[in-house]
Chains A and B, each alone.
Chain A
Amino acid sequence: MGEHDSPELLRGTLDLLILKALVSGPRHGYAIAHHLKTVSEDVLQVGESSLYPALQRLLLRGWVKAHWGTSDNNRRARYYTLTAAGRKQLELERSEFDRIVIAIHKVLATP
């Protein structure tokens, strides 16, 4: 992992964030990383060594599809698209995530 990498994420959270990043439309790997970084105001900086295995995991499960396209600056880039199964998974993981975050808050809130 890179030096400026984001703090360790909860297991599976990266998958959730990637799925979420793809809701607005197909993105290539760099755009996903960039998106996560900007939206999180530089808190979440995802390195290649975690982003790409995560993307492959999503491919294997059939939650995203990949195809080669042309980027804004006319370069060949691989774009990832959310599949129907991926959308469903996002909903599922999202509520699960909320549940866990609330639970963690409750634990931390105890005196």
Chain B
Amino acid sequence: MRSLFRRLWYLLRERRAQADLSEEMAFHREMKARELEEAGADSVEARREARRTLGNTTLAHDQVRDVWVPHALQGISQDFRLGLRTLASTPSVSAAAIFSLALGIGANTAIFSLIDSLLLRDLPVRDPGRLVMLSDGSDQHWDHWSYPVWREIHSRHQLFDGTLAWAGARFDLSSGGESKYINGIWVSGSYFDVLGVRPLLGRTISESDDAAGGGSNAPVAVISYAFWQHHFGGDPDVIGRGLTLNRVALTIVGVAPRGFFGTDVGHAFDVAVPASGPANGPTVSIMARLRTDQTIDAATAMLRAIQPEIREATLPAGWPPAFLAQYLKAPFTVFTLEPAAQGVSGLRERFVRPLLAILIIVALVLLVACANVANLSLARAMARRRELGMRLALGASTWRLMRQLIAESIVVASGGAAAGLAAAPWIADRLTKQLSTTIPVRAPNAMTGTVFLDTSIDGRVLLFAVALTFLTLVIFGTVPAWRASRVAPMDALVEHRQPRWGRSVWRTTDVLIAVQVAVSMALIASASLLVRTLTALETRPLGFDRQGLLVATVETQHASVSPERRAALYNQALDAVRRLPDVADAALSFLPAVVEGSILAQPIQSVSGAPSLPARRGANAALNFISPGWFQTMKIPLIAGRDVGPQDRVDSPQVAVVNEAFARKFLRAANPVGHTVRFFQPGPPPAPVEIVGLVRDSVYGGLRSQIEATIYLPVAQRSGGWLPFLSLDLSIRSRSQQVGALEKKVAQTIESVNPDVSVTVHPVSDYVSDSLVQERLVAMLAGGFAVLALALAAIGLYGVTAYAVARRRTEIGIRIALGASPANVVRTIVSRLATLICIGITAGVVTSLWSSRYLGSLLYGVRPGDPANLAGAITVLVLTATIAAWTPVRAALRTDPVSTVRCN
């Protein structure tokens, strides 16, 4: 191994080494001459004698080279120089080859680097392999714990080699009115220390900072490198400066190192703040660092043993007794540790399937590109048949010829790989931006919708790219080299010999063309399914009128508003907005109409007059809270009964409105008005709720999800053990379709009601488009790459047809001279091509039928094996092939019989 490095070292500085050798041999000769002179010879004679005794210096040089460079490898640099020259002699063809490989390798590497950073990469912290995550042992891996639970675990120092807790958050950077959110994390005092993250400037957050009210240094914050750069312009004196978040003044004590984005993969924090700041502390995720002698199972067992005492110590304040009893025995939250070297991420589940689908697509595109490059190399080798035959005739070995061609392929492949690798981070960054949403996910501890993935090239990505390059080299490089090595020396002499190997090269080209057609056919078919999925979702009837509808989210969590006054505040905001001249209607709801991925489920015990439900679990209905007039604002038609009204108050009997899906699910589609519903609730059985109205179905969660059986309760009747809502959404119906101007006005109006609340305003179309982020990305990429594959295949078809015409020029000339009709000539050329395309299309149909099974879960509103879809793809391919073949065929028809015959 060592000697290998020495050899490489030698190769790198061969010129220098040879010069050294010359110098030391010259020295040797001179010493020898001097020796002879001293023995009495005259100086000229001594020199001659010295040279004679010492032998052949050129031979010595060669022998030294033989020592270092194995004989079989000598001449390699010559191969490469010649390869470069050959490639440079046909610059456009070579550029096309390198470009198509660069595109293929770049796209593959980019997608892989996204998968890598989302799934495979370790957190950029000290010894990530020993980090574990505390979850509840359920299938959902729920990992949100109350801050007191964390304090209890943290206080038992002997358990682990350190524990840490954090919670994602959106911090409002504005001082009032329309919110300007940045990504924040609440962190425990141990967060940075246990992760082993050292500050770039200043210090990190310490245990003493993590106290209610902000510790001895008052409230502090650590900012990320990126935030430091773009918000403070990289100011070196940033330490000690102030920052106002959620209306609280903080002091910056440190800047985190450049590569550290936090512990949530997919989001990068801007500011980290001690978690004890807010009253009860946030709901947190908990990580621990295992001691070196600890296994994950042993640690889990230890934690479970102390779980009862931790529950006892962390009873939530202000909960009804029935809830507390449940908290103590809750069977669903069993402490379970899971490996956490790769951090946690809410994005993984959502994006892994689409990314894998795209990876397959770009791999296929690369395959098409390889086939194309192979065809180009084959054509080049054919064109050089005479040269190769000549070299063979002059005594070059077959191996030497092959090496020559492989060297050319290596140059093309490395050129493509280098360009692709350079482009990959850029492509990956563009794609990451496409994953971001305008509106943050509605989930506990969600940060803003901006997605961050570390797309820098790490060892794994590099390895992937190198392996990929090697693979492409094998696919497109070996076949031409092997074929060309079977040139016969005779080929050098006979110009118009149709050599044996010529025919077999044809066969190779045929296979490559058929593969290209098949793959692009499959890609076109899949892409069209995905694009139609997107269209189907975008135009899906939502059940409400999405035109001119705004959603304003009003958050009172951080405002100096006492919980009792919150309800009044929401109503004041509602009234103020309603008074705006451009507002036709407005109403409150707990969830807006379209929210990706969050369903508020209400377990239902029974519905009067309906088939009985499973006794232990009942059945779930989706739940939303609304104010009077919400259905009217949304333009969701009321079918029977009445809307909730101002008469439905905390002290009046509980009422509900349900949708048709609810009636179908629970009441066999009977009119539900007048029936009563009982909810599952811990403690004494709650009073029945009367259904007073029935509304049409509308979309509840994301656009993909089915219509949910939904029950709507009045916002005003929420009471009992529940805390008032921390935020509510105002749905606002604009008088005009143009809602842009109204957005600002709504934000200002709500700010004027109370400058302390946080407000974000978005048209409903933003929610709709955010809900389709992954579908749009997949459709866009699939479509783009399918077109690319088609273009590559078209180039391939063009090349093959043009070559066929050129090769058979004489034959065509003779046929025309003998009176063949144009149709006849066309048939001669095209029949073979048509066969190829038919074979390719058949293979493509089979491939797309087979692959659509895997696409199935990504589709909506289209069937995977849709015949119309396949027919469309076939049409596109046949048209493309016709266009590609058109120019060469026309050239064939214009062949001048006299000149071709005379040529020979």
Do A and B truly interact?
yes
Residues A49 and B59 in contact in the complex (CB < 8 Å), given A3-B52, A30-B31: yes
Q: Which of A28, A47, A57, A60 contacts B53 (CB 8 A)?
A: A47
Q: Are the C-beta atoms of B3 and A49 separated by less than 8 Å? A: no
Q: In the assembly, what is the distance between CA of A29 and CA of B67, in Å?
A: 17
| A29 CB contact (under 8 Å) in B2, B24, B53, B64 | B24
Please, how many angstroms separate the alpha-carbon atoms of A30 and B28 in the complex? 5
Q: How far is the CA of A48 from the CA of B56 in the complex (A)?
A: 8
A48 touches B20 (CB 8 A): no
Q: A53-B63, A53-B64, A53-B67 are in contact. Are A48 and B55 (CB under 8 A)?
A: yes
A60 contacts which of B23, B63, B68 (Cβ < 8 Å)? B68
A61 with B28: CB separation less than 8 A: no
Chain A residues with Cβ below 8 Å from B32 are 30
Tell me whether A78 and B54 are in contact (CB under 8 A): no
Tell whether, in the assembled complex, residue B28 and residue A48 are in contact, meaning their CB atoms are under 8 Å apart.
yes
Q: Is B311 an interface residue (CB 8 A)?
A: no
- Closest A residue by C-beta to B35: A34
B60 contacts chain A at the CB level, 8 A cutoff: yes
Report B-chain residues with C-beta under 8 Å of the C-beta of A76. Answer: 23, 27
Chain A, 66-101, contact with B by CB distance < 8 Å: what is the 0/1 string? 000001000111100000000000000000000000
Q: Which residues of B sit under 8 angstroms from A45, Cβ to Cβ?
A: 53
Residues of B within 8 A of A49 (CB): 54-57, 59-60, 63
Cβ of A57: which chain B residues have Cβ within 8 Å of it?
67
* Closest chain A CB from B520 CB (angstroms): 52
Rounded to whole angstroms, the CA-CA distance of A75 and B28 in the bound complex is 11
User: How many residues of B sit at the interface, in one of the four size bands?
Assistant: 20 to 34
Q: How far is the CA of A23 from the CA of B52 in the complex (A)?
A: 30
Interface residue tally of chain A, by bracket? Answer: 20 to 34
Inter-chain CA distance A45–B54, complex, in Å, is 9
Is B66 in contact with A30, judged by CB distance below 8 angstroms? no
In whole angstroms, how far apart are the Cα atoms of A50 and B27 in the complex?
A: 16
The docked-state distance in angstroms from the alpha carbon of A28 to that of B30 is 13
In the docked arrangement, what's the CA distance between A45 and B49, Å? 14
Q: Complex Cα distance A82/B855, Å?
A: 67
Distance A60 CA – B3 CA, assembled complex (angstroms) = 6
* Chain A: CB-nearest residue to B10: A60
Judge whether B25 is part of the interface by a CB distance below 8 angstroms. Answer: yes
Known: A3-B52, A48-B57, A48-B60. A78 touches B67 (CB 8 A): no
Counting CB contacts under 8 A, is B353 at the interface?
no
Cross-chain contact B52 with A52 (CB below 8 angstroms): no
In the complex, A61→B67 CA distance in Å?
A: 10
Answer yes or no: B876 CB below 8 A from chain A CBs.
no
The answer to whether A28 touches B24 (Cβ under 8 A) is yes
Q: Which residues of B contact A78 (CB under 8 A)?
A: 20, 23-24, 27
Residue of B nearest to A61 (CB): B3
Sample of 11 further A-B pairs with CB below 8 A, known A4-B53, A52-B21, A71-B27: A3-B52, A30-B31, A47-B54, A48-B60, A49-B59, A52-B24, A53-B66, A75-B30, A76-B27, A78-B20, A78-B23
Interface residues in chain B, defined as those with a beta carbon under 8 Å from any beta carbon in chain A: 2-3, 6-7, 10, 20-21, 23-25, 27-32, 35, 52-57, 59-60, 63-64, 66-68
Contact sample, A vs B, 30 pairs, CB 8 Å cutoff: A1-B55, A2-B53, A2-B54, A3-B52, A3-B53, A4-B53, A5-B55, A30-B28, A30-B31, A34-B35, A47-B54, A47-B55, A48-B28, A48-B55, A49-B55, A49-B60, A49-B63, A53-B63, A56-B68, A59-B6, A60-B10, A60-B67, A60-B68, A62-B2, A71-B27, A71-B31, A76-B23, A76-B27, A78-B23, A78-B24
A-B pairs with the 3 shortest C-beta distances?
A47-B55, A53-B63, A49-B55
